Chain A
Amino acid sequence: MPGFLKRADQKLLLNKPGIWSTRAHLVVYYGILFLFVLTVICFLEPNDPRDYSTMEAWIGFVSIVSGIGFIVWMIYLLRFNVFKKYGIIHPLHGLVTFFLYFMASGILVSFPYVHPIVESVRANNTYTDEEIIRDVNNINIKIFQVEYDKLKEPWQYHRIQLVASVKKEVKDENEVDDPVTSYIINDYRYDSSDFYTKINEADSIVKVKDSVYLVYNTPDYSFLSPYLYWSKANDDLLSAFEIFKKVNGHPPTPAERETITRELDVLLKKYYYKHSRYYYNDETITGNELPLEMIRKKYRLGKIDNSISHIMMKKSRWRGNDKYAFMRVFYYVTLGITLLIFIFRHSSIRTFWLSVLTGVLLTIITAMILGFSRADAIHFLSFMIVYVLLFFFGSLAVWKAKRRMAITGICINLFVFIVTAFPLLVYGWCYEYKKYQLDHDGWVYKNLYNFEEYVIYAEVGGAVILLLLLATYISKVYRHWFALPED
């Protein structure tokens, strides 16, 4: 232990034993140190942003380190406990220790996040979004320009026909005259709503008669079509039709073609990663390929698609809903661990394990009841709400108790563990009930608000309720229960 930390440790021991006994200061120091070292190692990892992510392996390995960190912390944490030694405790002792446990747990839980973050940072530093989108569009346009002559082939189309009712329509073989029968790929019939939508969305149409159109499909001129993971980026990519429009009618001269080929080569090399483990490895041109397939093989677009997808996946990891998913995993794992530690530190060992057992048994019994009765979400949520209320009222019994009973301790423990989820359960119940009512009344769900929209308020509400209860009720109820004489 470095000198300054030793001095700080000693100072806390002599002046703030409640804080000292949590050992959060040691976890914070060594945790941050490890995070720093891990970050440096992750930056030094020879991992090209174009290559597959090695995140899973790192998360697995670092999770083991986190686990070891937790065990070491527990060994130190469980040595001293102000509460169980009946020391002088501040009314906010419970809240403060909970916060310290949360902080220490959070640091340990954050270890597996380092590599994904570093991968993201490296990918973002190497390639900007605009750069990738610009390059993908340029590659597609340039390939089209260079391969212009090979792509002058008739387009495929399909025929759409307006009918009064799709169900009642009987096909009339002589109704439509096919101008280019060899390329027709399908024949569709639509009612008026879908029919005009198809016409509006089509790249190119030919009117046969008022009720019959030929809808032409632009060939796949988006030769490079990586999965961009992020809808905004996908929106900025040029569609096959847009690429066609840019190039059609302006074929490059041979001299221009040479320049374009050189530029294209530079762009392709920028994204070509030769060690890529691209599963479709057959890039040999046999001469039997269709033009588009031949072009993909010629420019090794499979590997380049893969490279760009990898880059975008790494870049987009912390955007949109993915970000919230990562944050939720972090928050709930940290909260769960913190609550277990908090409960263990305020309960007798026997009661703690009895609480775990009760929790497991209740889960099994509830699942069986719900399963056998073919219950739905609303019933499950009702069960959970009833449990929270039962545990709460069970914990109130401690104020009248003359002796420490395991059943009261179990109620307190389970109440503390589940109370954070209470607003979420109530919100979920209300949502499901509303859904049930709309369903019952024959309404469609689109009139219902989006569940995700308000769930954050329920989550924040849960956290606030927990903190308020820690400061007011939970610490007091544990203090009263734990000190009661035994039978």
Chain B
Amino acid sequence: MHKRIAEIQSYLQHNDHSLAVRRILDASLDTADLSLLKEAIAFSRLYRQYKDAGLPPAFIESANSLLNRIDQVAERFTERTAPLVTASQISKTYSSGNFSLQPISLQVNTGDVLGIVGENGNGKTTLLRCMAAQLALTSGELQFAQLENPDHYEIKHHLAFIPQRIPRWFGLLKDNLHFSAAISGVKGEENEVMVDFMLERLDLTPYAHLTWNQISSGYRTRFEIARILLQKPKLLILDEPLANLDINAQQSILTDLRFMAKSVHNPMGILLSSQQLHEVEKIADTVLLIKKGSCLFRTGEQEKTATAFVIELETTVKRDQLLNVLAAEGEVQFNGGFYTVSSATLPAQEMLAKLVTAGIPISYFRDITHSTKRFI
């Protein structure tokens, strides 16, 4: 049995039904078999129908039956990584001269998720728009490995950019999805199935027949993601996609994006910016911290992370007590909400052990030694 199938079965056994259904949908899409995909969509609808009232025993049976059939063609689950875009020392200075993005180099491959974090007004959106070929570069160049002598139209068809403020949609949401799929070459029955799949996959089916004004901003983001994914871009660029989502939706969308990037059906690279450092760090292969137009730090650069161990801590005790527990082995900073404790000698786990042993009440703890958070 393929490990993906085994993983899904484990979700089912542990009653992680929602996750299992999403993974079954992904797996059926990767088989590139339209009939299996239709079955998976029907299965997902069955789940939605019964999830509140209690799932019937037939649900598990049909899940297993579907998984078995998917498993028979599991040899198709072959992930391939290929370079997508290489940015070499790209920089941008606006004609008004009020902001400059300093030269940055980066590469995105299929399956990669690259996060860009930083405070407002530091160049995240400029970098993304440069990568999306929306802004003319002042210097440097972009190379799209999978396109031969492309013109800009081809480049823009090759990638998709979702801005923070999503442009308004007109007409029925479902028509918009059909249209987006159709203009990317997904025609006829495949178009219908793919739209149904995307609606199920992003849990949007109940809203498909509504209009833009009838859904919340969070759902608008999800519909925009669905629309863009139906266009099968090779590089997906999202500017602050989490801004309008609730905490659960943030986590769910990020995980979904992670899986979609590695999809066999349409593997793609994802470039996203966000203020939610921890959430992004959890799913991104690489995170870039942009400050004042320069790349201050990118995860994986060990030489920059090795100088000290750093944790974030939320507790009701005073700073003096913390310092006493750390016994001069750490420095404590307080930003009004939580403490940032750094230590050249104590790794995070040892700091935590000391605090717990000393009876310090801890309501939040996070090791940010390797996180971009240290630099903000």
- Hey, which chain B residues are within 8 Å of A484, CB to CB? 136, 152
- A16 CA / B187 CA spacing, docked (Å): 8
A17 and B156 contacting across the interface, CB-CB below 8 Å: no
A87 and B157 contacting across the interface, CB-CB below 8 Å: yes
Q: How many residues of B contact A (CB 8 A)?
A: 29
- Which A1-38 residues sit within 8 Å CB-CB of chain B? 13-18, 20-21
B152 and A480 contacting across the interface, CB-CB below 8 Å: yes
Residue of chain A at shortest CB distance from B135: A485
B153 and A13 contacting across the interface, CB-CB below 8 Å: no
A48 to chain B, nearest CB (A): 48
B157 and A86 contacting across the interface, CB-CB below 8 Å: yes
- A479 CA / B231 CA spacing, docked (Å): 19
A402 and B179 contacting across the interface, CB-CB below 8 Å: no
A486 and B95 contacting across the interface, CB-CB below 8 Å: no
Asked if B178 CB lies within 8 Å of chain A CBs, one says yes
Most buried by B among A15, A79, A86: A86
A483 and B153 contacting across the interface, CB-CB below 8 Å: yes
B179 and A17 contacting across the interface, CB-CB below 8 Å: yes
- Hey, which chain B residues are within 8 Å of A483, CB to CB? 151-153, 155-156
B 293-324 binary contact with A (CB < 8 Å = 1; else 0): 00000000000000000000000000000000
Residue of chain B at shortest CB distance from A485: B136
Residue of chain B at shortest CB distance from A478: B153
**Count class of interface residues, chain A:** 20 to 34
B 144-187 binary contact with A (CB < 8 Å = 1; else 0): 00000001110111000000000000110001101110111101
Also in contact, A13 and B178, with CB within 8 A (given A482-B153, A483-B156): yes
Also in contact, A14 and B156, with CB within 8 A (given A79-B170, A487-B136): no
- A80 CA / B136 CA spacing, docked (Å): 26
- Hey, which chain B residues are within 8 Å of A79, CB to CB? 170-171
A400 to chain B, nearest CB (A): 13
A88 to chain B, nearest CB (A): 5
B136 and A13 contacting across the interface, CB-CB below 8 Å: no
Also in contact, A88 and B157, with CB within 8 A (given A13-B175, A80-B179): yes
B 216-235 binary contact with A (CB < 8 Å = 1; else 0): 00000000000000010000
B211 to chain A, nearest CB (A): 11
- Which A366-412 residues sit within 8 Å CB-CB of chain B? 402-403
A486 and B179 contacting across the interface, CB-CB below 8 Å: no
Asked if A167 CB lies within 8 Å of chain B CBs, one says no
B187 and A14 contacting across the interface, CB-CB below 8 Å: yes
Asked if B28 CB lies within 8 Å of chain A CBs, one says no
- Given known contacts A21-B179, A80-B171, what 10 new A-B pairs fall within 8 Å (CB)? A15-B188, A15-B191, A80-B176, A82-B183, A87-B157, A87-B183, A87-B231, A479-B153, A480-B152, A485-B135
The 9 A-B pairs at the shortest CB distance, nearest first, are namely A87-B183, A483-B152, A79-B170, A17-B182, A403-B136, A483-B153, A485-B136, A86-B156, A86-B157
Please list 14 pairs of residues, one from A and one from B, whose beta carbons are closer than 8 Å in the complex, sorted by A's number.
Answer: A13-B178, A13-B182, A14-B192, A15-B187, A18-B183, A76-B171, A80-B179, A87-B231, A88-B183, A479-B153, A483-B152, A486-B134, A487-B95, A487-B135
